Chain A
């Protein structure tokens, strides 16, 4: 059974960079066949797709965030990561990592990131 776990700071200051890591267990990112995604949910709101990465490093991002977002992969650690630069209060959300590019069958539990001075 694949499991995903997000980790990273729970508070980030405005204008700084939000950095999160997703650790995958129960399966190897480098075995191929799956993409790995980040999705966020603003407090009390719906879901927003951020982007995804393949083990080869191929990515796709939501155009609404593309200028500020970078997703990377570290196959040696079986992890993939998210960076969002120049954050504002509007980036306060629960961030989920998930398996899949278009359909998400396994999810992390989510981590709340608050942008606050």
Chain B
């Protein structure tokens, strides 16, 4: 199985801050990497697919980069509605696997 490791596991930030979350794969997954946002008691929401493809309706302050084994999700200017947990997920091979999550909390 491909292991996905996210860092940090949590972070505190203020509205307006630039936030970067890292996801590393245990082997190369090309650009087969998705990012999801999950708020408490809600289902995950797909933000970015194929490492950098922003989904329709997702604000442009979200961006994704990377390929191979290292990927980043950046929120350019954190907004109140962005406080949530973010998960990466490899879509390269079965079994599909997710990172452990990064919780973005209010500072």
A binds B: yes
Q: Is A63's CB under 8 angstroms from B98's CB?
A: no
A60 to B94, CA, bound (A): 8
What DSSP secondary structure best describes chain A's contact surface?
A: loop
- The tally of residues in B whose CB lies under 8 Å from a CB in A reads 22
Q: Is B43's CB under 8 angstroms from A46's CB?
A: no
Query: Pick the contact of A107 from B44, B49, B98, B100 — CB < 8 Å?
Result: B44
Interface residues of B in 25-49 (CB under 8 A from A): 32, 34, 36, 42-46, 49
Kindly provide the distance from the CB of A84 to the nearest chain B CB, expressed in whole angstroms: 16
Contacts of B101 in A (CB 8 A): 46
Contacts of B98 in A (CB 8 A): 46-49
Kindly provide the distance from the CB of B34 to the nearest chain A CB, expressed in whole angstroms: 5
Q: Is A62's CB under 8 angstroms from B95's CB?
A: yes
- The tally of residues in A whose CB lies under 8 Å from a CB in B reads 18
Q: Is A103's CB under 8 angstroms from B87's CB?
A: no
Q: B52: CB under 8 A from chain A?
A: no
Contacts of A90 in B (CB 8 A): none
Q: A31: CB under 8 A from chain B?
A: no
Q: B91: CB under 8 A from chain A?
A: yes
Q: B64: CB under 8 A from chain A?
A: no
Q: A96: CB under 8 A from chain B?
A: yes
Residues of A within 8 A of B (CB): 46-49, 60, 62-64, 96, 98, 102-105, 107-110
